[in-house]
Amino acid sequence: MDLMEKMKVLISSRSFGKINSGAIELLKNNGLEPIMNPYGRKLNEEEIISLLDDAVGIIAGTEKITEKIISYNDQLKVISRYGIGLDNINLKAASQRNIIVLNTPETPKIAVAELTISLILNLLKKIVNVDKNVKSGLWKPEIGNILSGKTLGIIGMGRIGKQLVELLLPFKLKILAYEINPDNEFISSSKVKLVSLDTLLSRSDIITLHIPLTKQTEHIIGEKELAKMKKNAIIINTARGGLINEEDLYNFIKEKEIAGAAIDAFEEEPYIGKLKDLDNIILTPHIGTYTVETRKNMEIESAKNLIKALRKVKEL
């Protein structure tokens, strides 16, 4: 009999297994019984609890894993995050109950970096705007800007920030970075210049965020920071909702105090706020890791993380 036979694991992520069944089969082949999200959307607290009976593990997406969820089931031993960020999980509550929390930090970096570049180019070339024009019967070219030679400011030089630098090498950008724990070897070899946040904001043509959401980084970009940006600058957030004060961003774009923005992560999702009323902003539904290759690899990695951690717990 398998060490973990008949153990239940809740897969709360709505997208898990939709593209490829490999991770589901991996769980089953290791004696686990997956309990799938039956709603096809992000689960709320009560819905997660209703599915959690007897589960020893959770494979979680971006839905909030609260203290109430963590304390509901004494058998819960592992939370395997299907993605990078851990801000949706109450880590303090998990630690107090000796629950192992894992994530998949390496796999998504290329997809998120590529999305960032796509959004930058779309904003600079005004592709979304002119696409709408043509489809509405209006042949109206709009003047854009080139990316080559611009000054790029990267807030956060972790895995994704570094990947972004490597992918952007052919554009010969001047790259500024704000990072509290820099990889000095990478910074030096890539000719990235470490600067203060204020310097980055005031000198960059393009600003992109690649940091986790914490108490220290929440609204790291607000009215005061936006006021330091160039009027022709753009800002990109493919990291976490809550890093940018959305009300302040709306005001600055509406009044043309900055040139535009692209946002892939929001404080509340699905997003229904007034940023969608603006023309010079691109809004995407948290698609940073939504590629066939990335999703498949993230699913396999999160399933392996869960299996390995559960085996470790059971062998103790």
DSSP-assigned beta bridge partners for residue 8: 33, 55
Query: Catalytic one among 5, 46, 269, 293?
Result: 269
CB 279 within 8 A of CB 51: no
- CA end-to-end span of the chain: 18
Q: What is the pLDDT along the chain (316 residues), one digit of tens a residue?
A: 355 667 999 999 998 998 889 999 999 999 999 999 999 899 999 999 999 999 999 999 999 999 999 999 999 999 999 999 999 999 999 999 999 999 999 999 999 999 999 999 999 999 999 999 999 999 999 999 999 999 999 999 999 999 999 999 999 999 999 999 999 999 999 999 999 999 999 999 999 999 999 999 999 999 999 999 999 999 999 999 999 999 999 999 999 999 999 999 999 999 999 999 999 999 999 999 999 999 999 999 999 999 999 999 876 4
166 is catalytic: no
Give SS3 for 90.
Answer: coil
What is the pLDDT, as a whole number, of residue 1?
38
Closest among 41, 51, 52 to 14, alpha carbons compared:
41
Kind and range of the H or E element at 196? none
What is the pLDDT, as a whole number, of residue 4?
62
CB 251 within 8 A of CB 272: no
Phi, psi of 60 (to 5 degrees): -110, 145
What is the pLDDT, as a whole number, of residue 272?
96
- CATH code reported for the domain at 109-283: 3.40.50.720
| Amino acid, single-letter form, for residue 303 | A
What is the pLDDT, as a whole number, of residue 6?
77
CB 78 within 8 A of CB 307: no
Burial annotation 132-162 (CB, 10 A radius, 16+ → b, else e): eeeeeeeeeeeeeeebeebbbbbbbbbbbbb
What is the pLDDT, as a whole number, of residue 314?
78
Does the predicted TM-score (pTM) go above 0.75?
A: yes
Question: What is d(CA 130, CA 260) in angstroms, rounded to the nearest whole number?
Answer: 15
Is CATH 3.40.50.720 the right assignment for the domain spanning 7-105+292-315? yes
Query: Catalytic one among 63, 286, 295, 301?
Result: 286
Report the DSSP pairing between strands 281-283 and 260-263.
parallel
Question: What is d(CA 40, CA 231) in angstroms, rounded to the nearest whole number?
Answer: 41
Closest among 296, 291, 307, 294 to 106, alpha carbons compared:
294
210 is catalytic: no
219 is catalytic: no
Closest among 148, 151, 238, 150 to 193, alpha carbons compared:
151
Question: What is d(CA 242, CA 237) in angstroms, rounded to the nearest whole number?
Answer: 10
The ranges of the chain annotated as CATH 3.40.50.720 are: 7-105+292-315, 109-283
Query: Catalytic one among 81, 203, 210, 240?
Result: 240
